[in-house]
A and B are shown apart, each in its own frame.
Chain A
């Protein structure tokens, strides 16, 4: 499993770049993960989504899908795509250090 250094800490990531252990994540890693996902600056709106993803993961054991994010995060799906153009649920989960949200079956 590859290891990456974020904010001076070496963390294990899977082949898609998601942290293997969400407990290793700290907020100061987020800007660097975001850059690697093509997002140069994290605004307050980005942070609203990232913190929401973290909280949902801690409560439910899985991150929300885009549709659920649009309904519950206070950020509309349109804006979510402006904030995270390459797929909000996937990108925000990666920046938030949680596993890729389970697509439904």
Chain B
């Protein structure tokens, strides 16, 4: 009897557990999932909470209910992993030995690493929508906001869902227009990158959208300090009293003033990774082979989803597309077979642009997001705003609970990025033909 221990019961951990449960008879392998809490949050939903478009109640379900029968769930904090002894030490004093370990504990927000971010203004005039409590508090603050400078700031990469802060800007524009106060709100997007997005074709499209919607773009801004203004800035009262707002200050001493700041804090791996020698990199992410997902630490350790160091977005779609490669490789490893280098970096994101529309982007390690259709010529339009993509984004939540987490294979949706349906720029098509990345 083998034991597979999966650390983390989020998107990657849950779908991996369910896929593995299907491929192993219960007499051959025991599957144990460990997580420190009992709630599974549908994280893409957090973007909509601040605008009152959904509520926490509608995006949280019990973790336990997402697992197939025959999977044990242990609710406990993780102390450390001893990869030399194939053992996980839990906070409750017990230990779990494993034959294969899958690290799926995602990314952790580190607001305390930015000077002033969690100071007196935290959750008063400085918010994040990346946590349930932050998203709920920001909803209340937006309802009170009657005008002023709203700044959306990404402190540094990597972050979960790198398009979400841009979507927040687009939805904020839409939200203030619907309230009839858009002319009283200055919206600014402040990023450490040298453009709205890293990939050239997509960057052009998204930068154009920022211009169209009157959102100012500040680039190459590395936030060193957040100085919060007094609570209640941006409300009718503060505008009347002329109360000073807060300021973002970069390491090279540039200043962006704000009345209300929405900050995406630094991200790192789970805390126990730092306490597990050899397991993670300097940020606590797990170095893995980018196509087999086997950890560099040990051959019987794998990682999936946001927890890895693979060079693509930290996004649920990546965990989804990694899932079948990972489950197959765990099975191969236990059978003593060679691993398959099957993961191509496939990533797929809906980008909500407001007004009931959304864009869709689809890319992998070697191909940047391109125009065309997904998953084939008659599919959803890529890199173009459409009502269909917005409906796709809304429908996705049902797909998430009922298809993605259970680890079902969906006809027409493959792990590898589809090339058909995409329009390649000439230079890239030529490079592809030569077999270069």
Interface residues of A (CB under 8 A from B): 65-68, 71-72, 77-78, 80-81, 85-87, 102-105
Contact = CB atoms under 8 A, between A and B. Distances in A.
Given A78-B224, A103-B193, A68 B313 contact: no
A102 B311 contact: yes
Contacts of A102: 311
B198 A66 contact: no
B312 A105 contact: yes
Given A68-B282, A104-B311, A85 B157 contact: no
Contacts of A77: 224, 251
A67 B224 contact: no
B132 to A, nearest CB: 25
Q: Which 9 A-B pairs have the closest CB atoms?
A: A104-B157, A104-B158, A81-B251, A71-B282, A67-B156, A72-B282, A105-B313, A68-B282, A105-B312
B162 interface: yes
A102 B198 CA distance: 10
B283 interface: yes
Contact of A103 (B198, B224, B312): B198
Contact of B252 (A71, A72, A81, A105): A81
Contact of A105 (B156, B162, B194): B162
B266 interface: yes
Contacts of B198: 103-105
A78 B158 CA distance: 20
B251 A105 contact: no
20 contacts: A65-B156, A65-B157, A66-B156, A67-B283, A68-B283, A71-B283, A77-B251, A78-B251, A81-B224, A81-B251, A81-B252, A86-B252, A103-B192, A103-B194, A104-B157, A104-B198, A105-B157, A105-B199, A105-B312, A105-B313
Given A71-B282, A81-B252, A87 B220 contact: yes
Contacts of A105: 157-158, 162, 198-199, 311-313
Interface string B153-180: 0001110001000000000000000000
Contacts of B252: 81, 85-87
Given A66-B251, A87-B220, A103-B194, 19 more contacts: A65-B156, A65-B157, A66-B156, A66-B222, A68-B282, A71-B282, A78-B224, A78-B251, A81-B224, A81-B251, A86-B252, A87-B222, A103-B157, A103-B198, A104-B158, A104-B311, A105-B311, A105-B312, A105-B313
Contacts of B313: 105
Nearest to B162: A105
B193 to A, nearest CB: 6
A61 B283 CA distance: 17
Nearest to A67: B156
Interface string B190-216: 001110001100000000000000000
